[in-house]
Amino acid sequence: MRKTRAIRTERDLAVALEESLRGDTDLSWRITRAEAIADKTRADAVIHLQAGGKDFPFLAELKLKPTAELIATLAHRAAPHNHPWLLVAPRLSDRFVDLCRKAGIACLDLNGRVWVRRGTVLIDRSPSPSREPVIAATPEPDIFSAKSSRVPRAFLARRQAWTQADLVAATGVSRPLISRLLETLVRQGFLRREGGLRNSQWTVAEPDALLDEWVRRDVWTRRVTVRQYSILSPNLEKTARQLLAASGSAPLAFTQWFAAQFRHPYTESLVLSAYVGNWPSEETLAALNAREVAAGGRLWLLRPQDEGVFQFTQVANGLPLVCDVQIYLDLLQVGLRGPDQAKALREWEGFRQ
């Protein structure tokens, strides 16, 4: 496992930036602080990039933890002619690079990531895998890890304002973690905070961007264990009701094609899939005439890494379904026209309603 370097202060960031730019073997940089223009604009430094035989100066804004609001501010902040702003951070996520790209703000981090557009010059470089990873000393929580993902699911499943207390009660996530997740989601521009310190509420500001980021980070095979079963009955809904009756008090919720047909049918459901809290007993399998197979089964039972998938369920024809966002995510990384059904579901006007 590679050692990770932590940047604790903006002074540390400035020193590490100079080292990083000097060691860049692909691009030619020069950084100064004595230029008068830096004093006039209160820039942290002036960074020059030499590319295509030209010199491109930038006003540098160094931040340990940039925010979506800062990027919007830089996009509208006055800058002298030919000296646009450049955001520098220890580490820039795909989300922040996307925000910079859309705002026309150049950016770079200490991991080698660079996005710059100046006239006909475009540089879009990914982080270098050979570099020692660099992060801020207090890294952000992973908003899409198993348990943390309960919070974005809450905002995408319910169109409402949430308080911290409401989120704790609805998701079972601890208040300290929820506080950190909310701070991160606001910083990245996904959520909006309203009210004062004692009566704060949070609403989703960019639901599509939040869902897109979740899709980008989601890995189906890491968050579920799948068992497939061969079943004789051609009636999937009948089998679903038998499975529901046999589950008793154990959690169960249907997903993927079978659930989508009750929300917004697009493709024929050839597979019955359900999240289960426990694997079925031999008696249940016998009652369903089900036999476990390696592949090609028409019954898929899914054991989730985290039980958050059972939160914010909905009911259709007496059958529990996971929320629309979960159905969508579960369809994207499987075959049998799953992505086509996912696309149709998301484009439907009733999605997330």
Instruction: Give me the pLDDT at residue 322, please.
Output: 98
Q: Is 38 a residue whose pLDDT tops 60?
A: no
pLDDT of residue 2: 53
- Taking residues 156-180, report their average pLDDT: 95
pLDDT at 255: 97
pLDDT band per the 50, 70, 90 thresholds, residue 1: very low
The residue with greater pLDDT, 229 or 6, is: 229
Mark out the alpha helices in the chain (DSSP H runs).
Answer: 10-22, 36-41, 68-76, 94-103, 150-157, 164-171, 175-187, 207-217, 220-223, 236-247, 256-263, 282-288, 324-332, 338-347
Q: Going by C-beta distance under 8 Å and a sequence separation of 6 or more, which residues neighbour residue 239?
A: 231, 233, 272, 288, 299
Nearest to 32 by CA among 50, 58, 11: 58
What is the model's pTM? 0.85
328-342 mean pLDDT: 92
Local structure of 11: helix, strand or coil: helix
Cβ contacts of 228 within 8 Å, gap of 6 or more: 292, 293, 294, 295, 296, 297, 299, 300
Q: How confident is the model at residue 180 (pLDDT cuts 50, 70, 90)?
A: very high
What mean pLDDT do residues 215-220 have? 93
Query: What's the whole-number average pLDDT of the chain?
Result: 91
pLDDT tens string 98-120: 999 999 999 999 999 999 999 88
| Model confidence at 264: pLDDT above 70 | yes
pLDDT band at 40 (very low <50, low <70, confident <90, very high): low
Identify the CA nearest to 260 among candidates 316, 310, 334, 302.
316
Provide the pLDDT for residue 314.
97
pLDDT of residue 34: 55
Q: Structure tokens of 282? A: 């031999």
Mean pLDDT of 31-36: 69
Tell me: pLDDT of 244 over 50: yes
Rounded Cα–Cα distance for residues 55 and 71 (Å): 24
Dihedral angle over CA of 353, 155, 147, 277, nearest 10:
-20
The pair of three-digit structure tokens given for residue 258, joined into one six-digit string: 């079978």
Per-residue model confidence as pLDDT tens digits over 48-101: 999 888 999 999 999 999 999 999 999 988 777 788 999 999 999 999 999 999
Could you give all domains of the chain from N- to C-terminal order, each with its CATH number? 5-136 (no CATH), 150-217 (1.10.10.10), 220-347 (3.30.460)
Band of pLDDT at residue 37, cut at 50, 70 and 90: low
Cα three-residue angle 338-343-348, rounded to 5 degrees:
125
Rounded to whole angstroms, the Cα distance separating 134 from 5 reads 5
